[in-house]
Structure 1
Amino acid sequence: MDFATLTVISLAALLGPLLALPQHWQMPVVVGELTAGVVLGPSAVGYLRPGDGTFAFLADIGFALVMFVAGSHVPVRDPGMRAGLRIGILRTLLVAGLAVPVALGIAALFDTGHAALYTVLLASSSAALILPVIDSLRLKGTPVLELLPQVALSDTACIVALPLVIEPQQAGRAALGALAVTGCAAVCFVILRHFDRTGNRRRLHRLSQNRKWALELRISLTIVFALAAVAVRTHVSIMLAGFCFGLVVAAIGEPRRLARQLFAVTEGFFSPLFFLWLGASLDLTQLGRHPSFILLGLLLGTAAIAVHATMRLTGQPAPFATLCAAQLGVPVAAATLGSQLHILKPGEAAALMLAALVTIVAAGIAGSLAARTAPTPPPGTQE
């Protein structure tokens, strides 16, 4: 990788905002970034090489930061979210239960033997996608407060479960690795909460702000990278490391200055680079050589939407139920780990990402519908 490649990546990353610009489309930015990666990758032009060590490492940093930002956006301190926790847990369990027979049927139909993996995929929700959609569309009300715990629980549970099902023979090692990462995150929470309660964090914040040192950002990145190192050493996806520390930051309270800095670093460079790398990693020519996996991807994506949509029976509005089906981090990790471990059939990794794209498109449409049907505040009232 060189500066010319970085220039192309930065230029191609603009496709995401360009596609998301028309407000009536409600298109998630990542769709354009993934598309640019597919076009520039081996599937078409062949300019971007996802196997390049520097490119892949920068993408890993982006993946960890995307999940960190997603976790930090979970409003764990919001009393309204705690009020919706019960229904969120119920819907999470119901979706997981419904996903089992559907996954068994799909795995049997395509003879892949990956029913457990498909169950995790069908039950997952992506906080990294759903929370920004909610924020950008300014969705509010009881359905949102009930949706947030559901998304957080589903995402966290599936992140933990993925390494256990994708490599069952190493389930014990994966479980210990997940415990190690979450344990380290818990220690960070205790230390940072004490630091906050003693007033030291406030003093550090003032010092950093006055001297322009960005100390909070430096410390946060240090902890994220340390947890990612633990995850790599214990053979756990770095998505767990980023998401866990994001939850820690959300539980303590993220300073607005740190939030802006993280947004700039992540959304300005590392996040689009990651999604471009991801798009370039999708060898869609494999789907052409194995057309049955096109059907697998479409079926998995449709099944994920259908499983989540059944929560309409519990009183969840249909657009919000469909929005919960949006997947990203778990399919990415499944495709990456499965390819690295050589347990996926040729074309199956691309099928998993095709399924994720189906749910992303559906989530964009659902978010638009939710915004259009949201009640308008009475005149003279503030949101």
Structure 2
Amino acid sequence: MFATLALVMVVAIVGSLPAARSGIRLPLVLGELLAGIVVGASGLGWVDPGEPTLDAVAQVGFALVMFVAGTHVPVRDTRLRPALWRGIGRAALVGAVAVPAGIGLARLFDAPHAALFAVLLASSSAALVLPIVDASGIGGREVLPLLVQVAVADTVCIVALPLVIAPPEALRAGLGSIAVIACAAVVFVGLRQLDRTGMQRRVHDVSKDRKLAVELRVSLAVLFGLGALAVWTHVSVMLAGFALGLAVAAVGEPRRLTGQLFAVTEGFFAPVFYIWIGASIDVRVLWEHPSRIGLGLALGAVAVLVHLTPRATGQPVALGALSATQLGIPLAAVAIGLAGGLLSTADAAALVLGALVTIVGAAIAAAAATPRRPDVADP
């Protein structure tokens, strides 16, 4: 167990090197996914994704990644209100265009996954887009509608995914999604009450003075509880993480908790999850099924094109391409599809390839949208 985790963390360090280079800032997750592919089933075979401990840690990592993504959504920002309907309208426009595009791709590549393709094409990744916007310093009046659009698309597609990937389980998954969202709403009400009565501040002060990390422990306990409910109802843990993150963001996340979550997630659990996903995908099957290479490239390219349609409403091209970034939805589809025998290994690899195409597109779009800093002359 420890040898496997040590190897995974070394691989994670190596995978982070491309993101450290100057120029186009490649998302950290891209290097980690590629590193996982190299050491996993597709390459050297050093990492066994079926190892129980690694699988369990990776699932925790997925929930934490989505939890952190949810906390990054600026729910309390009053500036979002004027941008609310514009962002929702753009998400709806993308969703409407994604339906015929998904059907067309399914027919073109003879794949029985038209509804799944539509959800993938309509999805965005708050886990990637929000950090990219922060790190790149992208500003302007169109950024807030972009954040709303991404958050709405991510939330809707998270709920829709289990319904379209396994139609026979749609009723159970739908009820499970409602249950998870309802529990997250109860958590929000409880946190808001604690905040209003001053109890949250008192607990925060005691935790800080005595170094108890109470807020982190409570957050993890609730997250794992929601994750257990999601697994029991055949819903992805990504919904549990994202819904809880939104609830915490709506009340206001303490800075100390923000730092603790960042350290726990980005330092350990997230790299394990991304490398585990990369190691799980056997990209060699793509060479045996060339049409799936075309499918993966088409999924990525069409996703970008679909997300460029809000250009008609005034959205800049770079921000439209950035909103096409996919991560959680394709990875959840692969995890659910492979575990339930709902996706072939070739189709699963195609979904990951499509996601990688959108991530590369996001890196290029972020470079184009990043404001240029004037050169400072030497004194």
Using structure 2 for the length normalisation, give the TM-score. 0.97
Deviation >4 Å, runs of 4+: none
The corresponding residue for 2:349 is 350
Counting only pairs closer than 5 Å after superposition, residues 75-86 of structure 1 correspond to structure 2 as 75-86=74-85
Q: How does 1:278-357 map to 2 (within 5 A)?
A: 278-357=277-356
1:62-108 Cα offsets, whole Å, 9 max, x none, are 00000000000000000112221111111011001111111111101
- Please tell me whether the aligned partners of residues 105 and 114 of structure 2 are also in contact (alpha carbons under 8 angstroms): yes
Does the 8 A contact of 2:297 with 2:354 survive in 1?
A: yes
CA distance in 1, matches of 2:214, 2:41: 40
2:151 aligned partner: 152
Alignment-derived partner of residue 381 in structure 1: none
Alignment of 1:80-95 (within 5 A): 80-95=79-94
Q: CA deviation at 1:8?
A: 1.3
**CA deviation digits over 1:181-220, x for unaligned, max 9?**
0011011111111011100000000000000010000000
Corresponding residue of 1:210: 209
Aligned partner letter, 1:232: V
8 Å contact kept, 1:30–1:275: yes
Give unmatched runs, 5+ long, in structure 1. 377-383
CA distance in 1, matches of 2:221, 2:331: 24
- For residues 16-61 of structure 1, the C-alpha deviation after alignment (integer angstroms, 9 at most, x for no partner) is 4311112312110011111110000010100100011111110000
Query: Aligned partners of 1:282, 1:328: CA distance in 2, in Å?
Result: 15
Cα offset, 1:142, TM superposition? 1.0
Please tell me whether the aligned partners of residues 308 and 324 of structure 1 are also in contact (alpha carbons under 8 angstroms). yes
Q: How does 1:106-185 map to 2 (within 5 A)?
A: 106-185=105-184
Distance 2:64 2:327 in 1: 14
Can you list the C-alpha shifts for 1:299-341, whole angstroms capped at 9, x where unaligned?
A: 0100000000121111001110000000000000111111122
Any unmatched runs of 5+ in structure 2? Answer: 375-379
**Partner amino acid for 1:21?**
A
Q: Is the 2:5–2:54 contact (alpha carbons within 8 Å) kept by the matching residues of 1? A: no
What is the RMSD computed on CA atoms of the aligned residues? Answer: 1.1
Q: Secondary structure at the match of 2:124?
A: coil
How many aligned positions are there? 374
* Contact kept in structure 1, 2:236 and 2:332, CA below 8 Å: yes
- Which AA in structure 2 matches 1:353? V
Counterpart check, 1:270 vs 2:269: yes
Q: CA deviation at 1:373?
A: 6.0
Distance 1:329 1:212 in 2: 33
Could you tell me whether the CA contact under 8 Å between 1:112 and 1:345 is conserved in 2?
no
Q: Determine what percentage of the aligned residue pairs are the same residue.
A: 56
SS in 2 for 1:275: helix
Give 2:64's aligned residue: 65
1:263-320 CA distances to partner (integer Å, 9 max, x unpaired)?
0000000001100001101111111211110000000100000000121111001110
* 8 Å CA contact 1:76, 1:82 repeated in 2: no
Q: Is the 8 Å Cα contact of residues 326 and 359 (structure 2) preserved in structure 1? A: yes
CA contact (8 A) 2:138 2:371 kept: no
Alpha carbons of structure 1 residues 16 and 140: separation in structure 2 relative to 1, 3 Å: farther
